[in-house]
Chains A and B, each alone.
Chain A
Amino acid sequence: MNTNLSRRHFLRSGSSLIALPFLESLGFRRFASAAKATANPKRLIFMGLGWGLTTETWFPDPKQPGADYEIPKGLEPLARHKADFTVLQGLTHRFVNAGHQGSTFWLTGANQFAVSGKSFHNTISADQVAAEHFGLQTRFTSLQLDCGTYAGNSGHGPGLSLAWDASGKPIAGHKTPVEAFHRLFSGENTSLEKRKALLKRRHSVLDTVLEDAHDLQRGLGKDDTAKLGEYLDGIRDIETRLSKDEQWLEVPRPKAPITEPKPGLAGYQEIKLMYDIMVAALQTDSTRVLGYRQPVDTLLTSLDIKVAPHDMSHYHSTMAEKLDASQRRDTANSELLAGLLDKLKATKETDGSCLLDHTTIAYGTNTRTEHNGDNCPTLLAGHGAGLKMGQNLVLPKGTPLCNAWLSLLKGSGVPVERHGDSTGVLKELLA
C-alpha cells in the first residue's frame, strides 16, 4: 500500500481544515532552485514591544506632520536613520479592549469574542500571511523569536510568539539567541546518506503516530475531532517541513556569519544578539519573514531599573521614577533599533544595494501605555515595501492598524486584498 497516499487521504478526511499540499506538484524543487536566482528578495521583520512606551516623549509632535519634524527624545538614538523610518500616529485595532495584551492581536486585529461558545478567538497574523507567500523559497518559512521569561510580565498577553497560524493558533518561538542560532546554522555534521535515512525515519515516525491518531479519532465527537485536528495539523506541518528539508537536503547550510552566542545573556544584550541573529538569517536568506516578541522585564533589569514593568506602564499616576524608567526603556529600545538599522545598511547585496533597501521592519505594540489601545505606537523602517519613509504620519484617529499591515504586505508583493479589519491601504504611505 502506498503510505503517502493513505496519509493524505486520511488527513483530508480527518479534519475539514486539512488539505495536504501536493508538494511535488507545487513545484518545490523549482522554488528551491529559483531561490538562488531571485535577486534581492523582499524581507519583513516584525518586532513587538509589549508594555507600550512613553506617549509624551516617543511620538513626534503631531503638529509637525510630514518629513520636517523634530526627532522626539524617545527616538533620539534613531536620528541618524531619520530618512529610513516613518512613525505612524492614530492607528488602532477596533476590537481590542484588553490593556495587558500588547502582542496577542497586534498583527491579527482579531475580535477575541467573535465566535459564540468560545471565550478566545484569534486569526492569522500578518507575518504568517507574508510567510505563506515568501516561505516556499527559503529553508525556513518564517522564524519566530520570543522573550525568554513569562511573556505576561512583558505585557505581551496570551500567545507563544507574535505569530498566529491560519487557524488562529499560537506558534511557538525560540526563547534564546543560542536556540535560534542553532536552529539556523547548526546540524550538518552527518553525511548525506545518514540525513536521508533520518528523513525516511521521520516519515516512519509520523506514520506511526498518525496510525494512533486515526484510531483515537474513530470515537470522537465533533469538537474533540477539531481538537485532534490541531495534532493532525501539526503533523501536516512537519510533513511539509520534511518535504522541504528533502528539497534542501543537498543545499549545504550557510556558514553562520556571526559567532555562536554565549548562553545566559538577558535583557539589553540578549535583544542585541537576537537582532544580530535576525540580520544573519536574512543575510544567508535562511528566511524572509521574522518576528520577535521582545522582553521588557529583563530589559529593565539589565538597565538596573527597579520599577516593575507593569507598574512602569502606569507612569502617569506618579511620573517620577516610573516615568524615568519608561523613558530609559524607550531610549534603550531606540538604541537597539538604531543598531539593527546600522547592520542592515552595512550588509550589502551583490548589486551593491543594502539589506535595508529590501527589508521592512514593523515595530510597535498594541498597548500605547497604561491600558490604552488607541494610537498604537507604530514605526515602519526600511525600503523593502516601497513605502514612504522619513515621515511623521499623522492619520485620522481610529484608522485601522490593519491598514498599515495591508500596506506593508501589498507593498512587499504579497497578493492580499485585506487583512483583519482593514478597510484599505494607507495612501499616505505610498511613495
Chain B
Amino acid sequence: MKPLFPILPLLLLAPVSLHAAGLKPVNVLHERHRALLKENCEACHGSEKQKGKFRVDDLSLALNDLQTAERWQKILDAINSGEMPPPEEKKQPGKQEKADFLDDLAHVMVAARRTLSDQHGNIAMRRLNQREYKNTLRVLLGADVDVSELPSDTDAARFDTVGTGLFMSGNQVEQYESIAMKALEEAFALRAAAGVQKKFRYEVEETNQKFKETVDAELEKHERACRWVKAVEEAAGKPENAEIVAELRKNSKNDSVFRRSWKNIPGAPAPEEFGFTTTENSTDQANRAFARGPSVFAYQMRYLEQPALDTGAYLTIQDQDGGSNSALFVSIPGDFPPGDYVIRVRAGVTPQATPERRFLDFGFKGRSRPVTSVHEVTGTLESPSVIEIPFHRTWLHRDQNAYRLYVREKGTADTNEQIKQKLDQGKKLNGVAPDFAIWVDWIEIERIPETEAETPPGIRALSIALDDKTPAPKLPELRAALERFAIEAFRGSKPTDRYMDRLVRLYEESRAEGTRHSIALKETLSVVLASPKFLYRAEPSPGEGRRKLQGNEIATRLSYFLWGTPPDATLRALGEGGELLQPAVLAEQTDRLINDPRSLEFVKAFSRQWLNLDRLDFFQFSAELYPKFDFGTKWAARQEVYETLAYFLRENASIRELLKADYVVINGVLANYYGIEGVQGDAFRKVPLPAASPRGGLLGMAAVLAMGSNGEHTSPVERGAWVLRKVLNEPPPPAPANVPALTRLAGKVLTTRERVSAHQEDAQCASCHRKIDPIGFGLENFDAVGLWRTEDSFQARDNDGKPVPNAKKTWVIDPAGTFHRGPAFRDFNEMRDVVASRTDAFARGITSCLIEYGLGRPCGFSDEDLVESIVQRAKKQNFGLREFLHALVQSEAFQSK
C-alpha cells in the first residue's frame, strides 16, 4: 500500500510571542482594584480570619491558571448575587467603584477563560457537520435527504464547524448508515429516471365549478329551510295550537330552539319532507341552513361575479362560513420521478389590488406549513406574467403531505388570528367582502431532464448496472466499482485492500442470502458512507509540530469553507497536482468559488451563525400588533441579510457599508415593506435610498431589528448587546447568574426607557448595562418588527394577563443617549455615525468569526497576530469583504495543520 501520508519536512511554526506583538492578553486585573478588596473583604477573608475558608489577600491579580480563575469566579458570583459584602454590613463599596470593579473582573474572567481554553492553533479533526453531511451526499449522489435526526451541531460551539464540538456516537454511526441507504435509493431512482421530462398543467378554473356548486347547494338548502320554517310557523300560528305554542315558546330561548319541538305542534311538517334527511339531527340541519342565507355567502357570490372565471381563478381569504379558494393546491402526479423541477404560476393582479397585495406565498405540505418562498405577481389580469420557482423533488416528496404544494396570497393564512383580521378588514373596506387581488391562470409542474454532464460523481464512479435488468456484474468488476466509489466518497483517499476485501464480502454475503444485486449494492455502499474516511475530514499529522497541508487537503478545506461541499473535479485536480500550493492559483480558485452561486452556502451558514439569525424564529410576531410582518415578509427579511452579504462578497463591497450605506439590497416584498418606490420582482438588487431613509447597513435591517424584540415589544437590552457583540466587537460578559431580580417595577406604568434605566441603579447591573442600554435606546425608533415609529406605549396587565383599565401610557420616543465613556448622540442617525466610525473593531470581530468558521476552531488570543494581519490586508483594500476571505485563505494557519 502506498503510504497515506508521505513524510513531509515538518514545518515548526515559531510560537507567536504576544508580548513582542504588544498584545498582552488582558487576563490581569488592574492593581487599583486591590483597594476595594482590602477595604471591603479582607476583614473576614484576609490573613487573620478566613470565613468560609476563603481568603482574598493572597489572590494573584493575574488569572493565569484554573485555580486562580475559579477563586475569582467565586468573588464575581458572590458580589453579583449580592451575597457579598453581606448586605447587613455597614461598610459597602461605592456604586461607581463597585460597577467598575465588576465590569473589569467580568471581562478579565472572559479573557482568562479564553486564554485558558486556547487551543493554540490546534485544529481538532473535523467530522462533517449535519449541514456539510447533507451537502456532501447531495454532491456525491445527487440526492437530497432529510438529516434532521442527526445532531444539529449548533449547540455546543459558536459555529457548527468547530471540531471539538462535533461529537460522534454509536447511535449516530447507525443513523449515517440508514440515511445513506435512503440517499442511495433516491440516487438510484434518479439515475433510472435520468432524461425523463414530464410536464403537468393544472387549469385552476376547475375550482370555480366546485365553488359554484357549493354555493348553489347551500343556497338551495337555505331556500328549502325557509319553506320548512314557514310551514312550521304556519302550523304554530293556528289558533287551536296557541296554548301548546305559548308553552313551547316560553321554554325556548330562541326561535331555533323552539322549532326543535316541531313534533309537538300539530300539523307542523318534518324537516325530512323538505329534504333534510339525516339519521339523527335533521332539525338542526334545517335550522342551520335557515340561518345561512345569501348574506353569509356574500363573499362567494361576489366571487362568482368576477370576470375571467372561465380561464382562471382568484385567490381568496379563507372564509369559515362558505368555503373559499384561499389556497390553490396541486399534487405532483404519482408517476413523476424525483429530480429537478420547476413550478410555473401564470398570474395577474386585479385593478383592486393594493401594492401590498401583489405577493404569493409558495410552499409544501398544505396551508398552515411554513412559507418556502414569496413571489411578486408583476402581471395583470389582462396581461398575466409567469413566475418560475425551481425546486428539487426528493423521495421525501413521496410522502402524501409533501408532494402537495400550494400558492396563496401572502399573509392571509399564517394564523387563525390573521385570517379573521384580513377578512374583517376586507369587509370593512367595501361593506361586503374583501376585494380579490390575485387571479391565477394556471399552475404548471415540469420535471427537467438531467444532462449526462450532470451525473453526480459518486454515480459516475460506479459505472456498473444499478438495476437488476441486466446480469449482475462479475466480482472483479464490482470490486473495481466499489473502490472507485470509495475513493470518490473519501475525497481522493484510497481505501486499504483489507477494507475492499471486507466490502466485497459484505456484498457477496448479501447476495448469497438471495438479495438482489441492486439492493446488495446499496447496502454495501451505505457502509462506505458510514466509514470514518467519509465522515471525518482527516488531515493526518502524526508528529508533534505543525505541518503544511498538501494540495488535496487545501482543496478540501477551501471547498468546505466556501461551498460547504467536497471539492469539485477542477479543484481536486489542482490540489492533487500541487498547483494549488501556489498563492496565485489558490487566489484564483478562491475567486472562482466565491463567484459560483454555490458560495451562497457559505453566506447563509456563516451569517446565520455569526449574526445569530436563529433568534428570528424564537418568537411568534403578533399579527394583531404587526400585521405587516407576516410569514412571507419575515422570510424576505431573512433573505435580505443573506442577499446583502452575497452582494458584498460578489462586489467586494467595503464592510463599512454594513454599518452605514446609502443603498439597500432588497426585492419587491421588502421595498413594499420599507416603503421604497420603484422596485418590482423577486430578485434582490442594489437600490439607492432616499436621503431621509434610516435604512442601509445592518442596523436598518428588519431581520436584525426584529431579533431585538420578543415579538411584541422591542428589547433595547437585546439590541444593545447584539450591537456590542456583533458590530463593535466588545461582547458583554455572559449574563451573571443569581443577580437579584428587579421586581419593584413590575406592574408600574413606565416608559421602556424608565424601566430599562432601573438597571443602572445597582452596581451589579450597571457594570454592563451602562454600555448596553444607550445603544438600545438609540434604536427605539424602530418597532418590534423594524418599522419606523415616533411613539410607543405600554399597557399594564394583571397577573392573569388581562389589561388593567386606565393603566396605559403613550409617549414620544427619545432616542438620545451617550455611549459609555462617550460620545453623546441625539438620535439614531448620530448613533449610527458613531458605530460606523468604528470599522476597525467591526473588522476584527468579523475576522475572528471567519477564523473560527473557516478553520474549525475557536479564535484564541494566540490568534491576535493572524487577526491583525487579515484586518490590515483588508484595510488596504478598503475593507472589501472578499479581501478578508482571501487573506484568511492565504494565511499560514489556513494552510497548515
List residues of A whose CB falls within 8 A of some B CB. Answer: 96-99, 111, 113-114, 116-120, 150-153, 157-160, 165, 169-172, 175, 197, 201, 204-205, 207-209, 211-213, 215-216, 218-221, 223-224, 227-228, 230-231, 233-238, 241, 306-308, 310-311, 314, 316-321, 323-325, 370-374
Mask: chain B, 53-75; 1 = CB below 8 Å from A; 0 = not = 00000000000001001100100
In angstroms, Cα B116 to Cα A314, docked, is 32
Beyond A99-B735, A120-B156, A320-B747, is A234–B538 a contact (Cβ under 8 Å)? no
Sort chain B's interface into a size bin: 35 or more
- A219 x B4 contact (CB < 8 A): yes
- In-complex Cβ contact of A224 among B125, B157, B509 (8 A): B125
B754 partner residues in chain A, CB cutoff 8 A: none
| CB proximity of A291 to chain B, nearest CB, Å | 14
Which stretch, B189-197, B227-235, B336-344, B738-746, touches the partner chain A? B738-746
Chain A: which residue is nearest B710 at the CB level?
A311
Query: Which chain A positions have C-beta within 8 A of B116?
Result: 113, 116-117
A218 partner residues in chain B, CB cutoff 8 A: 4, 540, 542
List chain B residues, Cβ under 8 A from A197: 513
Q: A119-B858, A204-B506 are in contact. List 19 more A-B contacts (CB 8 A).
A: A117-B118, A117-B122, A119-B113, A205-B177, A205-B506, A208-B531, A211-B502, A216-B536, A220-B540, A224-B538, A227-B163, A227-B536, A234-B171, A306-B711, A318-B747, A321-B797, A370-B741, A371-B736, A374-B81
Residues of chain B within 8 A of A116, CB atoms compared: 66, 116-117
Q: Which residues of B contact A97 (CB under 8 A)?
A: 73, 77, 734, 736-737
For the complex, is B421 an interface residue (Cβ under 8 Å from A)?
no
Mask for B483-519, Cβ within 8 A of A = 1, else 0?
A: 0000000000001101100110110011001000000
- A216 neighbours in B (Cβ, 8 Å): 532-533, 536, 538, 540
List 7 A–B pairs whose Cβ atoms lie within 8 Å, in order of A's numbering. A113-B69, A150-B614, A220-B540, A230-B167, A241-B170, A308-B620, A324-B801
**Residue numbers in A under 8 Å from B747 (CB-CB):** 318-320
B737→A371 contact, CB < 8 A: yes
Residues of B within 8 A of A323 (CB): 746, 799
Which B residue's beta carbon lies closest to that of A319? B746
**Contact of A316 with B741 in the complex, beta carbons under 8 Å:** yes
Is the C-beta of B541 less than 8 angstroms from some C-beta in chain A?
A: yes
**Across the two chains, which residue of chain A brings its CB closest to B65?**
A116
Question: B168–A230 contact, CB under 8 A?
Answer: yes
Find the B residue at minimum CB distance from A218.
B4
Q: Which of B514-569 contact A (CB under 8 A)?
A: 527, 530-533, 535-536, 538-544
Asked if A120 and B531 make an inter-chain contact with CB atoms under 8 angstroms apart, the answer reads no
Choose among B66, B496, B532 the residue that contacts A114 (Cβ–Cβ < 8 A). Answer: B66
Say which residue of A98, A111, A221 sits within 8 Å of B541 (CB atoms): A221
The CA of A150 and the CA of B172, in the complex, are separated in Å by 18
Q: Considering only CB atoms, which chain A residue lies closest to B794 in the complex?
A: A318
Residue pair B745, A317 in contact (C-beta under 8 Å): yes
CB neighbours of B4 from chain A (8 A): 215, 218-219
CA distance A323 to B738 in the complex (A): 19
Q: Is the CB of A235 within 8 A of B799?
A: no
Distance between B69 CB and nearest chain A CB, rounded to angstroms: 7
Q: Known interface pairs A219-B4, A306-B620. Does A224 touch B124 (Cβ–Cβ under 8 Å)?
A: yes
In the bound assembly, the distance between CA atoms of A253 and B116 in angstroms comes to 50
Q: Which residues of B contact A (CB under 8 A)?
A: 4-5, 66, 69-70, 73, 77, 81, 113-114, 116-120, 122, 124-125, 127, 149, 151-152, 155-157, 163-165, 167-174, 177, 495-496, 498-499, 502-503, 505-506, 509-510, 513, 527, 530-533, 535-536, 538-544, 614, 618-620, 622, 710-712, 734-739, 741-743, 745-747, 755, 796-801, 858
Let me know if A215 and B496 touch, CB within 8 A.
yes
Would A236 and B734 count as touching, CB distance under 8 A? no
- Inter-subunit contact A117/B117 (CB<8 Å): yes
Residues of B within 8 A of A172 (CB): 151, 169, 171-172
Q: Which residues from chain B contact A212 at a C-beta distance below 8 Å?
A: 495-496, 499, 531-533
Closest residue on chain A to residue B155 by CB atoms: A158
Q: What residues on A are CB-neighbors of B496 within 8 Å?
A: 211-212, 215
The residues of B that contact A208 with a CB separation of less than 8 Å are 499, 502-503, 506, 527, 531
Do residues B735 and A371 form an inter-chain contact, with CB atoms below 8 A?
yes
Residue pair A150, B152 in contact (C-beta under 8 Å): yes
A228-B170 contact in complex given A158-B155, A204-B509, A208-B506, C-beta closer than 8 Å: no
